[in-house]
Structure formats: structure tokens, C-alpha cells
């Protein structure tokens, strides 16, 4: 098996491992936000499997990852709405959700369409999640709690999202252009850099779900 294919299947396997491990949140008295994130991760993994199958069959799969994006950013923003206490940021999340849904419709109908990768959605959604993840880390830093922040699953999740979106947003935002004009560079970056950061994100997601075994109560 070529190295590139091996890397792709390794990334998908780590994604699957993260989805499976996340299901432990249903076995123990984990908070509702972890259960919802687990369901999200399982759903996204199933979509990614579908996209991978289409790629193997040399069928356009960009539309699959458009759906992936729609189901990625908004649920994450909703989960951060539950986790962040700052009233202004919570109001901003509500505004973002409304404007983002309008942008998805506009991008699909009038700008990039459904069959090309919706880079506008990726850029705006990714930047928004980076900001929310950073806001949550700041909240942890300023918290008066004596608990070690590394035992907070969302500490690890937030690091994961900052790392992943920080590396992927510039690349995916220009992917349609690069794939047309710089195909070799786009392919090399995708398989050796983008996928690496994807695997790092999933490893951090796994760490978040494994960083503690119990909670005082389910929220």
C-alpha cells in the first residue's frame, strides 16, 4: 500500500478510535455536553467513512465534506454556548449561529455551490471555533477552582480545535484555488501536513474523554 494511502487510512482509524472511545461518556455519569460531543463525533466519523469510500471509487466527495462542515461548526458552537459563562460571548454565539446558517444557504445557492468545497464556510466556521476555544481556555485560566485544568475534558478539546483549525483554515480556505493551479503542492500539504494535524486533533479528543473517570453529577 502506498504511503499516502496508509496515512489516509491511519487518520480514519484514529478518527474511529476517538468516536468509539467517546461512547464511554454514556456508560458513566458524564455530563450531557460530553454525550452530545460523542454523538457528534460518531456522526462525523460515519460521514468521513462515506467520503473515504467515494474517494477510493474516484467519485467527487467534496459535497460530503460540505455536509460534514455544516454539522461540525454549529453543534460545536452550541456546546461552547453551554460551557462559556461570559454573557457577551454567549450573545455572540447566538448571532454567529443565525448569520452562519444564512451564509451556508447563500454559499450553497449563489457563491461556491454544493459540489465544490465550501471554503467560505470552513474559514468563518473555523475562525469562530478558534475564538470560542480560546475564550474557554481563558475562562479556565481565570477560574477560582482548585481542580487541575487537565482534568477538564474541554481543556483538551479546546486545545484540539485550536491546533486543528489553526492549521486547516488557511489551507482549506484556499484549497479550491490551489487544487486548480498548484495541484501537487495541495496534495502534498493535504497528505503530509493537514492529515497530521487531523490525527493530532483526534488524539487530543481521545485524551479529553479519558482524562477523568467520573463526575460528581451529570448536567
> Comparing 59-73, 163-177, 182-196, which segment has the lowest mean pLDDT?
182-196
The tens digit of pLDDT for each residue in 83-139 reads 999 999 999 999 999 999 999 999 999 999 999 999 999 999 999 999 999 999 999
pLDDT at 218: 41
Average pLDDT in the 34-51 region?
Answer: 97
Gap between the Cα atoms of 155 and 133, Å rounded? 9
pLDDT at 213: 66
pLDDT at 29: 80
Q: Which of 85, 84, 98, 99 is nearest to 132 (CA)?
A: 84
**Contacts with 97 (C-beta within 8 Å, 6 or more apart), sequence order:** 74, 77, 78
pTM for the full predicted model: 0.92
- Mean pLDDT across the chain, nearest whole number? 92
Instruction: Cite the DSSP H helix spans in 143-194.
Output: 153-173, 175-181, 183-189
pLDDT at 219: 41
The set of cell numbers assigned to 151 is 482534568
Angle at 13 between CA 8 and CA 14, to 5 degrees: 100
Helix orientation angle between 3-22 and 32-56, rounded to the nearest 10 degrees: 150
The tens digit of pLDDT for each residue in 138-177 reads 999 998 887 889 999 999 999 999 999 999 999 988 888 8
* Class of residue 136 by CB neighbours under 10 A (exposed 0-12, middle 13-18, buried 19+): buried
State yes or no: pLDDT of 217 exceeds 80.
no
Amino acid at each position: 500500500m502506498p504511503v499516502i494511502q496508509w496515512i489516509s487510512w491511519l487518520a480514519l482509524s484514529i478518527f474511529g478510535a476517538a468516536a468509539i472511545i467517546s461512547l464511554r461518556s454514556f456508560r458513566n455519569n458524564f455530563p450531557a455536553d460530553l454525550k452530545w460531543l460523542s454523538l457528534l463525533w460518531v456522526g462525523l466519523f460515519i460521514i468521513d467513512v462515506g467520503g473515504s469510500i467515494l474517494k477510493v471509487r474516484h467519485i467527487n466527495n467534496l459535497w460530503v465534506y460540505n455536509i460534514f462542515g455544516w454539522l461540525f461548526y454549529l453543534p460545536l458552537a452550541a456546546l461552547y454556548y453551554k460551557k462559556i459563562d461570559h454573557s457577551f460571548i454567549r450573545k455572540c454565539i447566538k448571532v454567529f449561529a443565525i448569520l452562519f446558517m444564512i451564509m451556508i444557504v447563500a454559499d450553497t445557492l449563489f457563491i461556491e455551490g454544493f459540489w465544490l468545497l465550501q471554503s467560505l464556510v470552513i474559514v468563518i466556521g473555523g475562525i469562530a471555533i478558534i475564538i470560542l476555544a480560546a475564550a474557554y481556555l481563558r475562562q479556565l485560566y481565570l477560574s477560582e477552582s482548585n481542580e487541575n485544568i487537565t482534568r477538564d475534558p474541554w481543556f483538551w478539546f479546546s486545545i484540539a480545535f485550536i491546533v486543528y483549525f489553526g492549521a486547516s483554515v488557511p489551507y482549506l480556505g484556499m484549497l479550491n484555488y490551489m487544487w486548480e493551479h498548484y495541484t501537487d503542492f495541495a496534495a502534498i500539504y493535504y497528505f503530509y501536513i493537514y492529515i497530521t494535524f487531523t490525527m493530532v486533533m483526534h488524539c487530543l479528543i481521545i485524551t479529553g474523554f479519558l482524562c477523568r473517570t467520573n463526575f460528581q453529577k451529570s448536567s
